[in-house]
Structure 1
Amino acid sequence: MITGEIKNKIDGIWTTLWTEGNTNPLTNIEQLTYLLFIKGLDESELRKEKDAAFLGLEHTGVFSEMPADFTEIQKEHWPKMRWTQFKQLPAEEMHQVMITTIFPFIKTLGGKEDSAFSKYMKDASFMINKPATLQKVVTALDSIPMEDRDTQGDIYEYLLSKLQTSGTNGQFRTPRHIINMIVELMKPTPEDTIIDPAMGSAGFLVSASEYLRKNHSNLFLVEGLKNHFHKEMFYGNDMDTTMLRIGAMNMMLHGVDAPNIEYRDSLSEDNIEAENYTLVLANPPFKGSLDYESVSNDLLKIAKTKKTELLFLSLFLRILKPGGRAAVIVPDGVLFGSSNAHKAIRKEIIDNNKLDAIISMPSGVFKPYAGVSTGIMIFTKTGTGGTDKVWFYDMKADGYSLDDKRSPIEENDIADIIERFSNLSSEKERKRTEQSFFVPVDKIREQGYDLSINKYKEVEYEEVEFASTIEIIGKIESLELEIIKGINELKDMLKAGDI
């Protein structure tokens, strides 16, 4: 989460675009994303070149060889393509280089025409039409330090928060620190095949790729695993082409060469995927409502419902391989809703698969653009049951205030959640009066498959001993005497003329 100077600079850029006539928030986010992508691409190439020079190796990067089909004017622009040169150009020349050369160049960066990147960049347009505006924005972006990938991610998140309202189906952006926590809980492996069927800007996929780089760097030394990472590990679906473009750029900036990103309504009859993935990471749309006719019949078999949050849970069970895992954010209603559909999906996960954990999150986590109470549901697809006890955690703080300002605070349960979930064997003896505890599956069945933590959390009341009525009356009388004494002393002083 960004604050202070960086936040002010982004707000300044936003104001520049707005006052220059670009009033569509999503268009502005898209245009800034292109510029961030160009800046990040150069920084990434500079790092690779530096590493190669240090190791005495040759480096063939995106700027190593000029495309053969470049026109004469594009050839003239080639030395000015990289951000380090581009940012220094006069306004008119900068705009011409962008429109004529840089933007057409980045649209084909994905290599093959059918790559996710090329596919969704094909219809992209650069819409900052005034050279002076472009120069202002480039200068402002250049002053923001983005070598740290977390900062880059936070800037994306802050830009996306400018949308303010959620989408028509209730989708909204997941804070980066919550995404990172979920990925840390699930600990992706180099062999995993990961999907987010409602990917947005690909936050979960990016975080998973960063986790693997940090914890399994040796995967890039094994050709099969390296190829899997770049081409066969990451999958994402969305119905918003702008988000698909942003997601594709986000993945490429984070070093995934060919993510499998598709324009797809994940809940429709057209999506026939089954048992393809080993890990689902998602924050699917809440509060959406679909017509039965537009929903895959397979999903309606588990729970006949129009609610998107329930249909997505059915989808996750279908697309996971046996033994596959899911960590998904759900609105609280999914955990305790009393409709037949709510109970049916919870029963399916508990009785026919393995529910591992429920982490209850405070309602302010998604502020300022949503105040809904949510939880994290972690389960494993088995098809044969396996739930014997479920781990619950009552998360009270995430390191930020729970109001619209979301200011940094000291209280933060995230490290504790990760530590405890990674060592569940030591949680067995914890009482239900504590912040985390196990609940046997039989107790959950007795409660009608209710997964609200408040159903199982026990509160310890301290016995308070009050003074007897006679003692209280005695204290009142004593106070009354002191008051009368004080009043009499004040009267005497008035009579004597002392005051």
Structure 2
Amino acid sequence: MLDTATKRRIDSARDILVGKVPDPKSQVEQITIALIYKFMDDMDAESEELGGVRTFFTKEFARYGWAKLMRSGLGGHETLNLYAEAISSMPENPGIPALFRSIFKNAYLPYRDPETLKSFLKIIDEFEYDHSERLGDAFEYLLSVLGSQGDAGQFRTPRHIIDFMVAVLDPKKEEKILDPACGTAGFLISAYKHILRANTDADGNSLLTPDDKGRLAQNINGYDISPDMVRLSLVNLYLHGFADPHIDEYDTLTSLDKWNEHADVILANPPFMSPKGGIKPHKRFSIQATRSEVLFVDYMAEHLKPNGRAGIIVPEGIIFQSGTAYKSLRKMLVDTGLVAVISLPAGVFQPYSGVKTSIIILDKSIAKRSNTIAFFKVDNDGFGLGAQRRVIVKNDLPTVATEIAEYLGRLRRHESVEDLQLSQGLIVPKEKIAENGDYNLSGERYRENIASNHSFPLVYLGNAELFRVESGGTPKSDVEELWNGGFPWATLADLPSTDFITEIRSTRRTISERGLRESSAKMIPENSVIVSTRATIGRIAINRIPMATNQGFKNVIIEDKSKVISEYVALALTKLVPTMNAWATGGTFKEIPKSRFCELEIPLPPLEVQKKIVAKIEGYQKVIDGARAVLDNYRPHIPINPDWPIVKLETVSTIVRGSSPRPQGDPKYFGGPVPRLMVADITRDGMYTTPLIDSLTELGAGKSRFMKSGEVIITVSGNPGLPTILAVDACIHDGFVGLRELSNDVVPEYLYFSLLALHSQHGSQSVGAVFKNLTSDQIREFTISLPPLATQQAIVAEIEAEQALVNANSELIERFENKIQATITRVWVRDGAL
């Protein structure tokens, strides 16, 4: 696992380049070149230390060694010229691998600013990865910046989704593994690591023989049409221990050269986009199509060995698009290999795209004897579905992994699945999927209608006595007179993804009367229900002002206010968001046609019951909003008495800098019984921290900084100035300063809260142009107010009591969110008490 400090170094290196090198691919290229440059010199240095000789930087290339580049006294322009000369000369260096020579080929320095280069090289110099596996992990993190959509429609697959798919397929050491659209080789690296873990004994020793390892290296293969992606894949595999990686520049869809090659396991997230006019494939495909997603899935299904398995990420078009090629593909999959479909939430590829995807699982040996297909639904994948993708508690992937393993295991053991209960899915007979000929692979389509048990009559949104559904429109963007008038005009930006149901009281944009007249936009009366039905499906709002919307919405106008209120309709529709997604058609920008949207049904209780439901949920929402406000705004506060003395930290503690054994990763020093504190540890548990991420041997601890339980630690890099208290004896690395031998005049918890209150100030005192650090001298100058011990203890007790109350708000939010869902669900269930 890559430590937080290294991730921040990579981020900092990118930050330096952003202003000079705006293209993400070029940023990655510059950092890749520098990392490999330093890596080779580190390997030379280690070889010399062990009594060997240098291999990378020898003879006339010796003057380009990293250490010489970074030597003190070398001026800015001298450094720039030497570095530029070095990277342009590397392709001629016979001492470096051919793969590395190809990386340096055509390399150049895209800016001529000595200060930028020196800042950049300083960050790279802080990397201390002396073996390729550690550098490989750093390189994989660097590749994550290539997540934006490329020309061929590629999206970076999140690491946890890759690992989930690999775990489901469970590749074995003797199997041939292929990714025919491999990008940066993420699936192949994950499969390789999975096999290594599966062949390790209880003591951490590999059970693979040299022959096993050689066969494994030969069995992992990838193709990609982009030479840039091929080069990055080769580097990625090389840095993970593949001396001779097998990645080919190959057009999977139009070339016949590898058509007769088959694999035991195929893992892929193929491109979704097709060029204008479509793909012109060769004639060997069984499905006649021009869409890339259809052809890729067909290719993978046809290139599995007779007992092969595949895991493929697909866009929603594959799941339910009505075109002939899509139907033919789905029929072929159901007949020959499909065993499971896993629906992913629409935000998995954020911030690069809100595209909705699914994972299809093929297993030819199981499919031959099974008459069912399992459908699973992932609502949460452990990360928020907004642009920031912050870690959240809710994660359906472990449950789905367990349930799909049980389902597939039973089929492999020839056991019945009739009694298998799936909390995250359902099992559907193939004959039901095939009965109307479209072979729709949306699990929601086969779920028993949740309204079939209703207490109240069902009404269509197309019921003209109750509702009028209007679509939106957009004036021509290049006609200035159509815009910035007096008519509010809503887009998806006016419906935040974080809101349950948004109230729109203003819009970011407006259109003119002419814009309204010359487009299909229509004014929607206030208190209508606004539903997003294009691309991002199912955001719901109530407009509290008359307004228009763009074409991405269906707007439900209440025609008979004596029978229905908009707030109830909005709440009822939240239960139909999965159905909306299942009904939407199209590729990347799927949409629900107005006619289809009008077929949605909701139960309609009497008006007074509707008002009762709305009032109850509004009350719950007020509690949630209040609890969120407490969590967002609470900060521990120490009331300062001007009579208390102000003291420097160095007067109440001995300040020591953390340290780490060298070289990094050496098994003599790392992986033993002594806990080692990492920056990522202290963001988890609050005041007291137990290190869980890393550890040292006794020998390693002797070369590190050892601290005792109860002593205060301060971060100096990554998140400078953040304090914690050690819950156990542990070592601390270079990213920390420890406060040892605390004076009897200070309570550790009081010191912690004092430093926490000053945390925001610490950032401004840190040094470094981009990657900020605190120095030990700066920390010595930090001051705190020091009241009597009894007062300190009272302050600590008061803050801890406050925090207990504040933290209870998280549970309160979850409880009341569940109450909201339960209240809405009862509307749909017979005899559900309201």
Q: Name the TM-score class by shorter chain.
A: 0.7 to 0.9
Residue 482 of structure 1 corresponds to which residue in structure 2?
none
Residue 341 of structure 2 corresponds to which residue in structure 1?
358
Distance change >3 Å, CA 323–CA 103, structure 1 → 2:
farther
Residue 360 of structure 2 corresponds to which residue in structure 1?
377
Residue 242 of structure 1 corresponds to which residue in structure 2?
228
Distance change >3 Å, CA 45–CA 178, structure 1 → 2:
farther
Of the candidates 227, 232, 237, which is equivalent to residue 214 of structure 2? 227
Task: Tell me if the contact between 2:16 and 2:120 (Cα under 8 Å) persists in the aligned partners.
Answer: yes
SS at match of 2:229: helix
1:34-113 correspondence to structure 2 within 5 Å: 34-38=33-37, 64-66=53-55, 70-72=58-60, 74-77=61-64, 80-81=65-66, 90=74, 91=76, 95=80, 98-101=83-86
Distance change >3 Å, CA 286–CA 136, structure 1 → 2:
same
Residue 494 of structure 1 corresponds to which residue in structure 2?
none
Residue 442 of structure 1 corresponds to which residue in structure 2?
431
Task: Tell me if the contact between 2:184 and 2:233 (Cα under 8 Å) persists in the aligned partners.
Answer: yes
**Counterpart code for 1:123:** K
**Counterpart code for 2:248:** E
Task: Tell me if the contact between 2:263 and 2:303 (Cα under 8 Å) persists in the aligned partners.
Answer: yes
Once residues 184 and 106 of structure 2 are traced to their aligned partners in structure 1, the CA distance between those partners, rounded to angstroms, is 16
SS at match of 1:364: coil
Residue 125 of structure 1 corresponds to which residue in structure 2?
107
Residue 799 of structure 2 corresponds to which residue in structure 1?
none
Residue 173 of structure 2 corresponds to which residue in structure 1?
190
2:142 aligned with 1:181? no
Once residues 240 and 37 of structure 1 are traced to their aligned partners in structure 2, the CA distance between those partners, rounded to angstroms, is 22
SS at match of 1:363: coil
Residue 448 of structure 2 corresponds to which residue in structure 1?
458
Distance change >3 Å, CA 192–CA 176, structure 1 → 2:
same
The structure number with the bigger radius of gyration is 2
Once residues 261 and 364 of structure 2 are traced to their aligned partners in structure 1, the CA distance between those partners, rounded to angstroms, is 10
Distance change >3 Å, CA 41–CA 370, structure 1 → 2:
farther
Once residues 45 and 420 of structure 1 are traced to their aligned partners in structure 2, the CA distance between those partners, rounded to angstroms, is 49
Number of residue pairs the alignment of both structures matches = 443
Once residues 385 and 446 of structure 2 are traced to their aligned partners in structure 1, the CA distance between those partners, rounded to angstroms, is 24
2:138 aligned with 1:152? yes
Distance change >3 Å, CA 458–CA 111, structure 1 → 2:
farther
**Counterpart code for 1:206:** I
Task: Tell me if the contact between 1:358 and 1:393 (Cα under 8 Å) persists in the aligned partners.
Answer: yes
Residue 337 of structure 1 corresponds to which residue in structure 2?
321
1:303-322 correspondence to structure 2 within 5 Å: 303-322=287-306
Once residues 182 and 127 of structure 2 are traced to their aligned partners in structure 1, the CA distance between those partners, rounded to angstroms, is 27
Residue 172 of structure 1 corresponds to which residue in structure 2?
155
Residue 489 of structure 1 corresponds to which residue in structure 2?
none
Task: Tell me if the contact between 2:220 and 2:246 (Cα under 8 Å) persists in the aligned partners.
Answer: yes
Distance change >3 Å, CA 418–CA 214, structure 1 → 2:
same
Distance change >3 Å, CA 174–CA 293, structure 1 → 2:
closer
2:253 aligned with 1:267? yes
**Counterpart code for 1:136:** S
- Structure 2: 5+ residue stretches without partners: 411-416, 457-602, 613-834
The higher relative CO (CA closer than 8 Å, separation ≥ 6) is in 1
Deviations 1:244-265 (A, max 9, x none): 2211111111112211111111
Deviation, 1:444, is 1.3
Residue 208 of structure 1 corresponds to which residue in structure 2?
191
Distance change >3 Å, CA 66–CA 182, structure 1 → 2:
same
Deviations 1:264-284 (A, max 9, x none): 111013444224311111000
Deviation, 1:41, is 6.1
Q: TM-score, normalised by structure 1?
A: 0.76
Residue 492 of structure 1 corresponds to which residue in structure 2?
none
Task: Tell me if the contact between 1:267 and 1:296 (Cα under 8 Å) persists in the aligned partners.
Answer: yes
Task: Tell me if the contact between 1:269 and 1:294 (Cα under 8 Å) persists in the aligned partners.
Answer: no
Deviation, 1:411, is 0.5
Deviation, 1:339, is 1.1
Residue 331 of structure 2 corresponds to which residue in structure 1?
347
Deviations 1:344-383 (A, max 9, x none): 11111221x2212110000000011111110001102469
**Counterpart code for 1:179:** I
Once residues 367 and 457 of structure 1 are traced to their aligned partners in structure 2, the CA distance between those partners, rounded to angstroms, is 28
Once residues 271 and 418 of structure 2 are traced to their aligned partners in structure 1, the CA distance between those partners, rounded to angstroms, is 34
Deviations 1:428-470 (A, max 9, x none): 52457x422221211111243111111122355676699x99x
Deviates more, 1:218-227 or 1:91-100: 91-100
Task: Tell me if the contact between 1:329 and 1:377 (Cα under 8 Å) persists in the aligned partners.
Answer: yes
Deviates more, 1:242-251 or 1:6-15: 6-15
Once residues 406 and 175 of structure 2 are traced to their aligned partners in structure 1, the CA distance between those partners, rounded to angstroms, is 22
Distance change >3 Å, CA 384–CA 401, structure 1 → 2:
closer
Distance change >3 Å, CA 347–CA 385, structure 1 → 2:
farther
Once residues 428 and 122 of structure 1 are traced to their aligned partners in structure 2, the CA distance between those partners, rounded to angstroms, is 59
Of the candidates 288, 307, 323, which is equivalent to residue 323 of structure 1? 307
1:458-497 correspondence to structure 2 within 5 Å: 458=448, 460=450
Task: Tell me if the contact between 2:339 and 2:366 (Cα under 8 Å) persists in the aligned partners.
Answer: no
Deviation, 1:143, is 4.7
Distance change >3 Å, CA 219–CA 258, structure 1 → 2:
farther
Residue 429 of structure 1 corresponds to which residue in structure 2?
419
Of the candidates 294, 297, 304, which is equivalent to residue 283 of structure 2? 297
Residue 392 of structure 1 corresponds to which residue in structure 2?
375
Once residues 366 and 109 of structure 1 are traced to their aligned partners in structure 2, the CA distance between those partners, rounded to angstroms, is 42
Once residues 367 and 273 of structure 2 are traced to their aligned partners in structure 1, the CA distance between those partners, rounded to angstroms, is 30
Task: Tell me if the contact between 2:153 and 2:271 (Cα under 8 Å) persists in the aligned partners.
Answer: yes
**Counterpart code for 1:401:** G
Question: Sequence identity of aligned pairs in percent?
Answer: 29
Once residues 96 and 259 of structure 2 are traced to their aligned partners in structure 1, the CA distance between those partners, rounded to angstroms, is 26
Deviates more, 1:383-392 or 1:451-460: 383-392
**Counterpart code for 1:17:** L
Deviation, 1:16, is 2.4
Once residues 357 and 445 of structure 1 are traced to their aligned partners in structure 2, the CA distance between those partners, rounded to angstroms, is 15
Task: Tell me if the contact between 1:33 and 1:246 (Cα under 8 Å) persists in the aligned partners.
Answer: no
2:263 aligned with 1:277? yes
Once residues 260 and 25 of structure 1 are traced to their aligned partners in structure 2, the CA distance between those partners, rounded to angstroms, is 25
Deviations 1:208-252 (A, max 9, x none): 11212222247774232111123x122111122222221111111
Deviation, 1:71, is 3.9
2:256 aligned with 1:257? no
Once residues 153 and 67 of structure 1 are traced to their aligned partners in structure 2, the CA distance between those partners, rounded to angstroms, is 20
2:393 aligned with 1:413? no
Distance change >3 Å, CA 298–CA 291, structure 1 → 2:
farther
Distance change >3 Å, CA 128–CA 107, structure 1 → 2:
farther
2:2 aligned with 1:18? no
Higher percent of residues as helix: 1
Deviates more, 1:318-327 or 1:188-197: 318-327
Deviation, 1:293, is 7.6
**Counterpart code for 1:27:** S
Distance change >3 Å, CA 148–CA 401, structure 1 → 2:
farther
Task: Tell me if the contact between 2:144 and 2:156 (Cα under 8 Å) persists in the aligned partners.
Answer: no
Once residues 337 and 281 of structure 1 are traced to their aligned partners in structure 2, the CA distance between those partners, rounded to angstroms, is 23
Distance change >3 Å, CA 463–CA 443, structure 1 → 2:
closer
